[in-house]
A and B are shown apart, each in its own frame.
Chain A
Amino acid sequence: MSDLLAQWLRLALPLVLATASEVVAERAGVVNLALEGMLLAGALAAWLVAAGGGAAALGPALLVALLTGVVLALLLALLVIPGRAHPLVAGSALHFGCLGATGLLFERMKGSASVTTFGELAAPWRWLPWIGAALLVAATFLFLERTRAGLRLRAAGDHPEALRAAGGSPARSRLLGLLVAGALAGLAGASLTTVLTGAFVEGMSSGRGFLALALVLFARWRASGALLAGLFVAALFTLELRLGADAAGTHGFAVFALRALPYVATIAALALVRVEPGRAPGALNEPLD
Chain B
Amino acid sequence: MKRAAPWLVALAAALLALLLLQWQGIAPARALPLLAGGAFGDANAWSATLRIATPLLLCAIGVTLAFRCGLWNIGAEGQLLVGGVAAAWAGHACGHWFPALLAGAAAGAAWAALPALLAVKRGVPEVLATLMLNGVALELLRWLVTGPLQEPTRQFPQTARLPREAWLPQLALGRTGALHLGLPLALLAALAVGLFLARTRAGLLLRTGATAPRLARAQGFALDRARVVAFAAAGALAGLAGAVDVAGVARAADRSLAQGLGYAAVAAALLAGLRCAWLPAAALLLAALQSGTSALQWAANLPGIDRFGLLLQGLAIAALLVAARFAGRSEGGERTEGSAAP
Contact = CB atoms under 8 A, between A and B. Distances in A.
A and B touch in the complex (CB under 8 A): yes
B136 interface: yes
Interface centre among A107, A214, A263, A285 (most CB of B within 10 A): A263
Contact of B139 (A31, A93, A256, A287): A256
A102 B310 CA distance: 10
A96 B307 contact: no
Contacts of A95: 263, 314
Given A84-B330, A89-B331, A271 B315 contact: no
Nearest to B260: A99
B113 to A, nearest CB: 13
A259 B318 CA distance: 34
B314 A94 contact: yes
Interface in A83-135: 83-86, 88-90, 92-108, 110
Interface stretch (B39-47, B122-130, B199-207, B230-238): B122-130
Given A83-B325, A100-B309, A267-B118, A260 B318 contact: no
Contacts of A210: 131-132, 134-135
Contacts of B313: 93, 96-97, 100
Contacts of B127: 31, 88
A264 interface: yes
A260 B314 contact: no
A270 B115 CA distance: 11
B317 interface: yes
A27 B147 CA distance: 43
Interface stretch (A3-11, A151-159, A220-228, A247-255): A247-255
B146 A93 contact: no
- Bin chain B's interface residue count: 35 or more
Interface in B288-341: 302-318, 321-322, 324-325, 330-332, 335-338
B143 interface: yes
A239 interface: no
A101 B311 contact: yes
B66 interface: no
Interface in B135-188: 135-136, 138-140, 142-143, 146-148
Interface in A250-289: 252-253, 255-256, 259-260, 262-264, 266-267, 270-271, 274, 284-287
Contacts of A83: 321-322, 325
A211 B131 CA distance: 8
A85 B72 contact: no
A212 to B, nearest CB: 11
B314 A103 contact: no
Contact of B143 (A103, A207, A253, A264): A253
Contacts of B87: none
- Bin chain A's interface residue count: 35 or more
Contacts of A287: 330, 336
A10 to B, nearest CB: 20
Interface centre among B123, B266, B303, B317 (most CB of A within 10 A): B317
B267 A260 contact: no
Given A104-B307, A107-B303, A259-B139, A97 B315 contact: yes
A96 B305 contact: no
A79 interface: yes
Contacts of B139: 256, 259-260, 263
A110 B133 CA distance: 33
Contacts of B135: 207, 210-211, 260, 262-263
Contact of A86 (B115, B147, B307, B330): B330
Contact of A93 (B125, B136, B318, B337): B318
B143 A256 contact: yes
Interface centre among A83, A249, A271, A286 (most CB of B within 10 A): A271
Contacts of A98: 314
A233 interface: no
A86 B133 contact: no
Interface in B230-254: none
Nearest to A248: B146
B219 interface: no
A252 to B, nearest CB: 4
Contact of A103 (B72, B124, B307): B307
A141 B316 CA distance: 37
Given A79-B321, A85-B331, A210-B131, A92 B336 contact: no
A270 B325 contact: no
16 contacts: A31-B127, A84-B330, A85-B322, A86-B332, A86-B335, A93-B313, A93-B318, A96-B314, A97-B314, A99-B307, A101-B311, A107-B303, A207-B138, A252-B143, A263-B139, A271-B124
Interface of B: 24, 72, 115, 118, 122-125, 127-129, 131-136, 138-140, 142-143, 146-148, 260, 263-264, 266-267, 270, 302-318, 321-322, 324-325, 330-332, 335-338
Given A260-B140, A263-B132, 17 more contacts: A84-B330, A85-B324, A86-B336, A89-B317, A92-B267, A96-B263, A100-B312, A101-B311, A103-B306, A110-B304, A210-B131, A210-B134, A210-B135, A260-B136, A270-B122, A274-B123, A284-B338
